[in-house]
Structure 1
Amino acid sequence: MIFESILPPTDIPGYDIPTFFMNTSRMNLEQPDTPAYYDLATGKNISFSQLYLLYKQVASGLINNLDIEPGDVVAVFSSNSIYYAPAFFGIIAAGAVCCTVSSMFKEGELQYQMEDSKAKVLFVGSKQAHIARAAMEQGLLKIAAEKIVILDDQDYWGFKSFGKILSDQSFEPLLFNNPERSAKTLAVIVYSSGTTGFPKGVMLSHRNIVAYTVLSATMFAFVQSKDGVEEKTQRSLAMLPFAHIYRLTSLVTNSVAGAKTQYILNDFSIEKFLHYLEKHRIETASVVPTVLNQLVRFRDISKYDLSALKVLGSGGAALPDGTHGDVRRKFPVSTGNGYGMSETCSGVCLMSNFEFIAGSVGFLFPGMQAKIIDPETGRALGPEQQGELCLRGPTIMMGYLGRPEETAKTIDAEGFLHTGDMAYIKKTGHVFITERIKELIKYKGLQVPPAELESILMKHDGVVDAAVIGVHDKVRGTEAPRAFVVTAGAADKGESEQLAGELIAWVSSRVADHKKLRGGIEFVDAIPRNPSGKILHRQLRLQYNAKHGTKL
C-alpha cells in the first residue's frame, strides 16, 4: 500500500535556486531596505537589496578571481552568519556546487569532507578559521590559503576577507527554468551517515531544494491556518543546529512562507533567547527539542512579553510526547514537530496543533508518498502495521556522491528511499516513528556516526576492540554516545578509571563537541559481532538497557 499526503500535490517550479528565491522574495513584496538577515549578537544585518547585490558579486568573484568553473565544488565551513546566504546563493549562481561542513568540526573531520567532495574553494566563519589554519599547519588541508575566504571583514593568515573576493566583473550566471534540468543539476552536497558507516555526500539537485521549499511552505500555511495563525509571520528566529541542509532550506523557505527577516542566534542561553524573542517581537522560532525542554521548565518566563510569538517549531531530533504536550499547554501558539533526513532534503512530515496526536511526527508533505515494508521480506504493509518507512517524492536525493552501490542499496527500483527507521501510519495519515534500524546517534539533533568514534578508539594503543551506541542522557534530555571497549588485559579499578579518562580525552581532542563520549565508557570482555564481523549495536543496546532498566 502507498500512503499519500492529506493535501493534493503541488506544482514545483523548474527554476534554478537563486532565481527561485529572488522571484519569491519579490512576489512577497520585500522592500529593498528590509533586513533579510540580522545577527542578534552584533546588530549587523544585510538588507534584501544588499543580498541581491552580494550574491552576484560572490558569483563573479568565484569565477573571475578564484577560477571556479561550472560543476566545481565550493565548501562552506561556518556558524550562522549574515553572509552565509549570499555565499550560498553566489556559489550556486556561479554554476558551482555548495558543500556544507558542520561548523563544529575539528581538523580531521574537515580534511575528510574536503577530500571526499574535492572542494576547490573554502568559505570559513571567523571561529572556524582557526580550525582551517591548524589543518593546514598539520598538512591535512591541501587547499592554498588564497583559496580560503573568511565570512568576515578581516584577513587572517593569508586567507581572503569576504569583501576582497567580491567582484563587479561580468559573468555568465547559472539561469534556467526547465524541470528536467532542475532535477538533473547538482546544487548542494550535504554529509550524512545515511543508514550505516562513515559520512557520505548526499547529492541534492536544484529541484530537491525548490521542491522542499514549496512543499514545506504549503504544509506550514495549511496547518497554521487550521491552528488560527491567519497572517503570515514577518520575523523569524533560527536556532536549529544548522550543520547542513536545515540552514540551506531555511534560507529559501522563509521567503516563500512570507517571513521578511531572519534573526540569527549562535550563542545560546535560555535567558538570552527569551530576551531576543521579546525585544524583536519574534513571531516564529525554530529550535531543537532540548530548547523546548528548557522553555517549559523555566520558572521566570512570565517576566518576558512573548505575545508576538505565533509559532514554535522543533527540528533536528525527535520531540518527546511529553515535551510537545507541555509546550502546547504552556504556550498559546502553534507548535511544530516533524520528521526528515538529509537524504530527503530535510523534513517530509509535520505535526502541529491541527489534529494533534502525541507521539506522531505528523502528516506527509504534499507530493510525498510513503510505504511501510517488512524489513525481512520487503512486503508492503498496511495501516497500523509496523515496518521500515520508505519515501518517494520530489525531495528525495539524487544519490550519494561517488557511491553508486550505496545509492542502489538506499533507493529501490521504484524510487523509494529506504530510511532505516521503523514506523507505522494510521488511516488518518498520522505517521509514527517507533525506532531506528540504522545505528546513527543523535545528540541534541546533531548526527554522531558510531563507526567514526569506533575508528578513533581503535587507534589507541590500549584498545583491542570497541563499539559505540547511543544511550539516554536524563540530565541533557538527549542521546549521548557511550563506548564499549575491550582492552589487552585485565586492570584494577584505578587503572580502568585512568584509562577511561584517557580514552574520553583521546576522542574529545579529535571530534566536534557533539561527538564526545558523554555517555561514558564501559570495559567489556568482547564486542558482539555477527559472522561477517559487523558489530551488533542493537544487541549492545539491549544489554545496556536490561542492565540499567531503561527502554530501547
Structure 2
Amino acid sequence: MIHRSPLPDVEIPDVPLTDYVLGGAAARGGKVALVDGVTGERLTYAELAAAVAAGAAGFARLGVGPGDVVALVSHNQPRYAVALHAALAAGATVTPANPVLTEEELGKQLGAARASVAVVAETAADKVRRAARAAGVRHVVVLGTHPELPGFDSLLAGGGPAPRPALDPATAVAALPFSSGTTGTAKGVRLSHRNLVANLAQTRAGWRIGADDVQAAVLPFFHIYGFTIILNSGLLAGATVVTLPRFELATYLRVLAEHRVTRAYFAPPMVLALATAPEVAEYDLSSLRYALCGAAPLDPDVTERAERGLGCLIRQGYGMTEASPGTHQVFDADFPDTPAGSVGRLSPNTEARLVRPGTGEDVEPGEAGELLIRGPQVMLGYLDNPEATAATLTDDGWLHTGDLVRVDDEGRFWVVDRLKELIKYKGYQVAPAELESVLLTHPSVRDAAVVGVPHAEGGEAPKAFVVAGGELTEDDVLAWVAERVAPYKKVRAVEFLDAIPKSPSGKILRRLLKERPPS
C-alpha cells in the first residue's frame, strides 16, 4: 500500500539552490534578512545578495568551482548564510561541520569530503587549521579575524564578476552533510540542488512562511533541519531569521520577545526546558504563532506543559538527512486538529510505505512497520559508500528510514521508535521512547534515556539513565516504571547522570550510553 500526501504535487523549479532561495533577494532591498540575536549584527536582503555575489567571485579567485568542496565550520550567525550561498554560487559543494567536533573528527570529515577550502568561525579557527593541514585542505578562511589566517571579508573585497557555473541541478551535489552517527559510522550524504530545491518547495506548501514572519534559529545550520527548514526556508520566503549560537534559556526567551518571533523551531531538549522553566511567564511571547519540533520523538505530556507557558501549539515534523530532510508535516492549517505526538501527513510529491522489518511486505492497516520514503527530496546516495547506499536505497527509489511508524485512520503518521534501538527482552520488542516518556512523567526526573544492555535471563533488558531534579533513588525509578508498563517492559537497571548525551539536533546518543562501563 502506497500512502500519499493530501496536498497536490507542487512544481519543482529546475534551478540551483542559491538561485531559488535568493533569486528575489535584491528586490527586497532594505528588508532585514538575518539578525544575530547576541551581537545585533544585521544583514538586509540587498546586502545579502551583494555579499553572496562578491563571495562567489572571491571563491572563484581561489580556484573554487564545480567539483570542489567547501567546508563550512561555524555556529549560527548571519555570515553563515553568506559563506554558504557564495560557495554554492561559485559551483562548489558545501559540507557543513559542527565546530565542537574534535580535531580528529574534523580531520576525518574534511578528508572524506576532499575539501579544498574551509570557512570557519573564529572560535574554532586554530583547531580547524590543524585539521585542515592534516587533511590536505588548501585554504582556511575565518568568519571574522585571526592573526595568521585570512578573513572572509578579504574574499568579499577582491572584486570581479560573480561566476555563472553550468550545473545540472539533478546531478550536481549542493550539500554534503554527514549523518549523525548515532547508530554507526558517520556517512557523507550527497544531496543535489534538486533534492534541496524540491524539499523547500514541498515544505512551503504546508508551512506557509511569509515575509512578515520572524524565525528563531538556534538549531544549528550545520544540521539539515536548521539548514533547510529554518535558514533556507526563511530566506526563500523573505522572512527575518534571528540567529543564536546555542540554546541558553534566558537569551532564547529574550530573543523571542524582543524580535517578536512568529515561528519557533525546537528539538526535544528545548521543549523539556521550556516545560519546566518558571521564567517563561516573565516574557511577552504573544507574537508566536507556530512552533515546530523535530529531530526526535516528543513526549505529548511535556509538549502540553511547554505549550501552556508559550501560549502556542507545538507540533512535530519528520524527516532525515537522507531526505533533505522533510517528508512529513503538520500543515499550518492542521495545527489545532492534530494531536501532540503525531508527525502529521506526507509532504507533497512524497510517497510512503510501511513494511515488516527485514522484508518488502506491507503491513496491515493500523500496524506499525518500517517507514519507506520515495520522492524528489531523497538523496543521490552516500559518499564513496555503495554498500551503505544499496542497503538504504532500493532500485526503484525507496529510502529505508530505519524508523518504526504507524498511520492512524485520519492518515496521520506516528513514529513508534527507531528499529535499531528496539530492545528485545525474552523475544518481546521494547521501545526506548515509550519508557522515556514514562520516566519523564516523574516529578523528580529532569531528563532520561533508555538503552538495551545484556541481561542474563532476557538476553537484553532496558536500562535507564536518569538526570534527577530532586531526591530520587534507583528503587523509586524502578517502581515508577513498573507500575505503568507491562512486565516485560520494566526497566531492570538505573544509572544517574548529570546530563544525557545528545547530538546538536537533540537526538539521544545511545551508542555513548551503551559504551559506558557498568556502574
Per the normalisation by structure 1, the TM-score is 0.75
Judged with a 3 Å threshold, the aligned counterparts in structure 2 of structure 1 residues 257 and 327 are, in CA distance, closer, same or farther, namely farther
The counterpart of 2:43, out of the listed 39, 42, 46, is 46
- 1:438: how far off? 3.1
Aligned to 1:135: 131
Aligned to 1:21: 21
The counterpart of 2:232, out of the listed 244, 252, 264, is 252
Give, in whole Å, the separation in 1 of the partners of 2:77 and 2:307: 31
Within 5 Å, give how 1:481-500 maps onto structure 2: none
Contact 2:33 2:235 in 1 (8 A): no
The counterpart of 1:185, out of the listed 151, 169, 172, is 172
Q: Which amino acid aligns with 1:310?
A: R
SS at match of 1:263: strand
Within 5 Å, give how 1:87-98 maps onto structure 2: 87-98=83-94
> Residue 395 in 1 paired to residue 377 in 2?
yes
Q: What do residues 320-362 of structure 1 show as CA deviations (whole Å, max 9, x unaligned)?
A: 1212233344443242311111001112112362431232111
Give, in whole Å, the separation in 2 of the partners of 1:35 and 1:483: 51
Judged with a 3 Å threshold, the aligned counterparts in structure 2 of structure 1 residues 192 and 482 are, in CA distance, closer, same or farther, namely same
Give, in whole Å, the separation in 2 of the partners of 1:301 and 1:330: 6
- 1:237: how far off? 0.9
Aligned to 1:543: none
Contact 1:40 1:265 in 2 (8 A): yes
Instruction: State the aligned residue count.
Output: 451
Q: What do residues 227-286 of structure 1 show as CA deviations (whole Å, max 9, x unaligned)?
A: xxxx76421111214332223213321134452x11011243222211221112111111
The counterpart of 1:117, out of the listed 110, 113, 120, is 113
SS at match of 1:380: coil
Q: Which amino acid aligns with 1:151?
A: L
The counterpart of 2:409, out of the listed 423, 427, 450, is 427
Within 5 Å, give how 1:316-331 maps onto structure 2: 316-331=295-310
Q: Which amino acid aligns with 1:283?
A: T
Aligned to 1:63: 60
Q: Which amino acid aligns with 1:80?
A: N
Judged with a 3 Å threshold, the aligned counterparts in structure 2 of structure 1 residues 483 and 112 are, in CA distance, closer, same or farther, namely farther
Give, in whole Å, the separation in 2 of the partners of 1:215 and 1:521: 41
The counterpart of 2:259, out of the listed 277, 280, 302, is 280
Q: Which amino acid aligns with 2:12?
A: I
- 1:41: how far off? 1.0
Q: What do residues 87-125 of structure 1 show as CA deviations (whole Å, max 9, x unaligned)?
A: 111111111111111222111110110111110000111
Judged with a 3 Å threshold, the aligned counterparts in structure 2 of structure 1 residues 478 and 313 are, in CA distance, closer, same or farther, namely farther
Within 5 Å, give how 1:70-469 maps onto structure 2: 70-135=66-131, 140-144=134-138, 147-152=139-144, 154-156=145-147, 158-166=148-156, 167-174=158-165, 181-192=168-179, 197-221=184-208, 233-249=212-228, 250-259=230-239, 261-351=240-330, 353-438=335-420
Judged with a 3 Å threshold, the aligned counterparts in structure 2 of structure 1 residues 183 and 36 are, in CA distance, closer, same or farther, namely same
- 1:406: how far off? 1.4
Contact 2:421 2:451 in 1 (8 A): no
Judged with a 3 Å threshold, the aligned counterparts in structure 2 of structure 1 residues 275 and 512 are, in CA distance, closer, same or farther, namely closer
Q: Which amino acid aligns with 1:159?
A: L
- 1:162: how far off? 0.8
Q: Which amino acid aligns with 1:164?
A: S
Contact 1:5 1:429 in 2 (8 A): no
Contact 1:195 1:439 in 2 (8 A): no
- 1:70: how far off? 1.4
Per the normalisation by structure 2, the TM-score is 0.79
Unmatched tracts of structure 1, length 5 or more: 225-230, 441-468, 485-503, 525-552
Q: Which amino acid aligns with 1:366?
A: P
Give, in whole Å, the separation in 2 of the partners of 1:262 and 1:193: 25
> Residue 3 in 1 paired to residue 3 in 2?
yes
- 1:199: how far off? 0.8
Give me the CA root mean square deviation. Answer: 3.1
Aligned residues: percent identity?
A: 31
- 1:150: how far off? 0.6
> Residue 477 in 1 paired to residue 447 in 2?
yes
Report which stretch shifted further, 363-372 or 66-75.
66-75
Report which stretch shifted further, 388-397 or 317-326.
317-326
Q: What do residues 140-181 of structure 1 show as CA deviations (whole Å, max 9, x unaligned)?
A: 44334xx001111x133x3211111223213532366xxxx3
Q: Which amino acid aligns with 1:408?
A: A
Judged with a 3 Å threshold, the aligned counterparts in structure 2 of structure 1 residues 482 and 377 are, in CA distance, closer, same or farther, namely closer
Aligned to 2:460: none
Give, in whole Å, the separation in 2 of the partners of 1:127 and 1:197: 28
- 1:197: how far off? 2.9
SS at match of 2:107: helix
Q: Which amino acid aligns with 1:244?
A: H
Give, in whole Å, the separation in 2 of the partners of 1:8 and 1:195: 35
- 1:522: how far off? 3.2
Give, in whole Å, the separation in 1 of the partners of 2:294 and 2:264: 11
Contact 1:132 1:141 in 2 (8 A): no
Give, in whole Å, the separation in 1 of the partners of 2:364 and 2:9: 22
SS at match of 2:206: helix
SS at match of 1:336: strand
> Residue 521 in 1 paired to residue 516 in 2?
yes
Q: What do residues 396-415 of structure 1 show as CA deviations (whole Å, max 9, x unaligned)?
A: 00100111221111111221
Give, in whole Å, the separation in 1 of the partners of 2:382 and 2:515: 32
SS at match of 2:420: coil
SS at match of 1:212: helix
Contact 1:104 1:512 in 2 (8 A): no
SS at match of 2:235: helix
- 1:479: how far off? 3.9
Unmatched tracts of structure 2, length 5 or more: 423-431, 455-496
Judged with a 3 Å threshold, the aligned counterparts in structure 2 of structure 1 residues 130 and 483 are, in CA distance, closer, same or farther, namely farther
Judged with a 3 Å threshold, the aligned counterparts in structure 2 of structure 1 residues 256 and 52 are, in CA distance, closer, same or farther, namely closer
Contact 2:12 2:198 in 1 (8 A): yes
Q: Which amino acid aligns with 2:19?
A: T
- 1:61: how far off? 1.1
Give, in whole Å, the separation in 1 of the partners of 2:336 and 2:14: 31
Judged with a 3 Å threshold, the aligned counterparts in structure 2 of structure 1 residues 41 and 309 are, in CA distance, closer, same or farther, namely same
Give, in whole Å, the separation in 1 of the partners of 2:505 and 2:294: 20
Give, in whole Å, the separation in 1 of the partners of 2:60 and 2:22: 21
